[in-house]
Every structure is written in structure tokens, then in C-alpha cells.
Structure 1
Amino acid sequence: MKDRLFEKPLEKQFEFDEEVAAVFDDMIERSVPFYRQNLDLIVTLLLRFLKPGMRVVDLGSSTGLLLIELARRCGVEVEFIGIDNAPAMVELARKKSRALEADVTFLCEDLMRYDFGGADVVVANYTLQFIRPAVRGKTVQKIYDALKEGGLFVCSEKVLMEDKWLNKQIIDIYYDYKKGQGYSETEIMRKREALENVLIPYTIEENRSMMKEAGFSAVDTLFQWGNFATMVARKRGK
């Protein structure tokens, strides 16, 4: 379904409810540059890492795109678990996985309360940016603690530039990109207002420092387009 949510005036701040879930796949593909290509890059990387008996956990799994694609392409027995606190997203992901015959478990849980320990891979694509800064570091620490030695943390985020002038230029370039995807100026501004104080981005260096403080031995940028970046952090092995 095509994303037309912000053609009408705002009634509330952004939240992942039934309306958003219904158009989410179209929204994210038109709102995140190179979304599909980046997802394919993440899947391809993880397929080189996964071995029989491993566990992959996706935090903020939304409609399940990444895990379903990974499960369909993975040639070994791996446990795939998606965790999201939005019931509408979880229900849609479950329907999609059944339709595509992908063996993935989707759970409606609060990631800060749910025990996802024993993971070999944890993915959080565009998830940390919605977690309040006061507890974001604790979330990354929980992810680190949940990973087995040698495990991977893959994290995609909207990011800020260190330089304020450059940040302003990139935002303007991004808005032009969204116009090219068919969004009107009104829709862009309404969504920006809806996300204010809901989506709070960090710089890449702030994200890297947070992961290093949690204990990750290596943190690298896998992909970046303007103010969107994917990072991979590795927990030191034996």
C-alpha cells in the first residue's frame, strides 16, 4: 500500500500503529536511500557468518523484511527471532512469513524487558534512534551482554554530521531525494514534525563511542548515504 499518511494534517506524534504498519514497506523504501541495496548487503554479509545452530535476533523487526529474506536465503539451520513492541507490525510480519514460508519467529515484546541472550547476531535497523538517549547506552550494553563471544551487532541509523554546515546541506539534499520519491513538501514537513523528539539521531562517532563503551572490540561503518549509516560491531572472541 502506498504511503499517504502525511497528506492529512497531524493528529499525534509518530507511532508504529496500524496505519503505519499498513504502509511501512513503501514508507521505508521511499524514505531511506538505497534501503533495498543496504538490506541485501547486510543479508549477504550475515550469510557468510552464519553456521548451523546459530541464533539471529532482530530488534525492532517491523514487518520482518530482513529476517524473512535472510531465512529464505540461508542454507543452514539457524534460529531467526524478530522482536517488536508494535502489535500491528508483529502481526503483519507473521502473516508475511507464513505466506512466504519463511521459518521466523516474531514476538511482540519490549526489548529492554525480554531476554534475548545467547544470540550470535543482533540486528537493530533504525531502532536505537527511537530509544530515549537516557537509556540508549543501556540498550547497547544489553545487546553486547546478550551476544556470544565473537558475535556481531549490525545497526542502521539516521545520523547527524559532525559539521553543522554539512548537516544542513545533507538534510536539504535528503529532502530533495524525498521529493524525487513522490513526497510533497507538505508531507515532508508534517512527517518531520511528527518525528520531532521521537526520532533522536546521534553522529556516527557518538554511536561508535557508545558501542565501544559497551565493550565491542571493533566498530566499522558498512554503508553510508548522507545521513543514513549502517555499522557493524564485533564482540571479541576467544
Structure 2
Amino acid sequence: MTDKVFEKTITKQFEFDEDVASVFDDMLSRSIPFYKEMQRLTINFGLKFLKESDKVYDLGCSTASTLIELSKHSPFPLELIGIDNSEAMLQRARKKCKAFGVEVKLLNEDLHKANYDDAKLIISNYTLQFIRPLQREKLVKKIYNSLQKDGIFIFCEKVISSDKVLGKQYIDEYYEFKKRQGYSEFEISQKREALENVLIPYTEEENKNMILDAGFSHCETLFKWVNFATFIAIKK
């Protein structure tokens, strides 16, 4: 379905409810530049560290697109687990997994309370940015503790610039991108308002420092387009 969530005047803050879940795949492809490329990098780099039967968790898995693609491209079976606190998202994830014949364990749980021990790969695509800073740092530490030795954490985030001039240019460039995807000025402004104080992005440097502070030995940017970035972190 086509994303028309913000064609009407908003009455609440952004949340991953039924309205959003029903159009989420379209929303992703039209709202995140190079989304498919970042997903491809996540899968390709992830597979280089994996072996048969390894556990892979996707935190905030939404409709399970990344896990489905990972399964399709993996030359060996993996134990795939998706965790999300939106039942509306998981309902669509279950239907997609069934349609593609992919076995994924889908859990409706709070990321702070869920168990994802013994993971070899943990994925988090545009999820940390929705978690309050203090809780975000605790979650990253939990991710580190849950990974096996030589495990990896691959995550995508919206980022901001520490420079005010560049920050304004980031916003302008992204605004033009969304207009090219067919979103109206009204839709763009409505979504921006709905996300106010809900999505809290860090700078690229702040994301890396948070990762290293949690104990990871290395964190690197795999891909970046203006204010969207994909990171890989390694636990030694």
C-alpha cells in the first residue's frame, strides 16, 4: 500500500500503529535514501561473519524485510529471530515470512527486557534513534554483552551534523529527496511534527563513541548519505 499516513492533519505523535504498519514498506523505500543499498551492505557484511546455525537477531524488526533477505542470500541455514514491540508490524512480518517460505521466530517484546544472548549478529535498523539517550546507552551495552566473541552489531541510524550550517543543508537536501519521492510539503511537515521529540538522532561521532563506550573494539561507518548512516561494530 502507498504511504498516505500524513495526508491528513496529525492528532498524535508518531507511533508504529496499524496505520503506519499497513504502509511501512512503502514508507521505508520513499523516506530513507538508498535503503536497499544499506540493507544489501548489512546482509553482505553480516554473512562474512556467520556460519551455519548462528543466531541472528533483528531488534525492531518491523515487517522482517531484512531477515527475509538475509535468509534468501545465506548459503546455509541460520537461526533468525526478530523482536519488535508493535504487534501490527509483527502481523505483517508473519504474513511476509510465510509468503517467502522463510522461518523466522518473531517476538513481541520490549528490547530492554528481551533475551538475545549467544548472538553472532545483531541488527538494528533505524531503531536506536527512537530510544531515549540514557536507555539507548544501556541497550547498546546489553547488545554488547549478548554477542559472542567476534560477534558483530550492524545498525542504521538517521544522523545529524555537529555543524549548524551543514545541519541546515542536511535538512534541505533530505527535504528535496522526499519531494522527489512524491511527498507533498504538507505531508513532510506533518511527519516532521509527529516525530518531534520521538526520533532523537545522534551525530556520527556520538554513535561511534556510544558503541566504543559499551566495550566494542571497533566501529566503522559502512555507508553514509547526508543524514543517514550504516555502522558496523565488532566485539573482540
Range of TM-score over shorter length: over 0.9
What SS is found at the alignment partner of 2:38? helix
Matches within 5 A, 1:45-194: 45-194=45-194
Given that 2:219 and 2:232 are in contact with CA atoms closer than 8 Å, whether structure 1 keeps it comes out as yes
The aligned counterpart of 2:210 is 210
RMSD: 0.7
Q: Distance in 2 between matches of 1:76 and 1:110?
A: 29
The aligned counterpart of 1:227 is 227
Residue-by-residue CA offset, 1:82-124 (whole Å, 9 max, x unaligned): 0000000011101100011011111111010011111000001
Structure 1 residue 46: deviation in Å?
Answer: 1.6
What SS is found at the alignment partner of 2:43? helix
Normalising to structure 1: TM-score of the pair? Answer: 0.98
Matches within 5 A, 1:20-59: 20-59=20-59
Structure 1 residue 196: deviation in Å?
Answer: 0.2
Residue-by-residue CA offset, 1:148-204 (whole Å, 9 max, x unaligned): 000000010000112111010111010001000000010000000000000000001
Q: Distance in 1 between matches of 2:41 and 2:109?
A: 27
Q: Which runs of 4+ in 1 moved over 4 A?
A: none
What SS is found at the alignment partner of 2:2? coil
Structure 1 residue 77: deviation in Å?
Answer: 2.1
Q: How many residues align?
A: 236
Q: Distance in 1 between matches of 2:73 and 2:98?
A: 16
Q: Distance in 2 between matches of 1:24 and 1:53?
A: 30
Q: Distance in 2 between matches of 1:68 and 1:108?
A: 18
Q: Distance in 2 between matches of 1:31 and 1:190?
A: 14
What is the identity, as a one-letter code, of the residue corresponding to 1:78?
L
The aligned counterpart of 1:13 is 13
What is the identity, as a one-letter code, of the residue corresponding to 1:51?
K
Q: Distance in 2 between matches of 1:70 and 1:232?
A: 16
What is the identity, as a one-letter code, of the residue corresponding to 2:109?
E
Q: Distance in 2 between matches of 1:86 and 1:80?
A: 18
The aligned counterpart of 1:198 is 198
Compare 44-53 and 11-20 and name the one that shifted more. 44-53
What SS is found at the alignment partner of 2:22? helix
> Structure 1: any 5+ residue segments left out of the alignment?
none
Residue identity (%): 54
Structure 1 residue 48: deviation in Å?
Answer: 2.1
Q: Distance in 1 between matches of 2:225 and 2:26?
A: 19
Q: Distance in 2 between matches of 1:41 and 1:133?
A: 26
What is the identity, as a one-letter code, of the residue corresponding to 1:183?
Y
Structure 1 residue 53: deviation in Å?
Answer: 2.1
Q: Distance in 2 between matches of 1:120 and 1:2?
A: 35
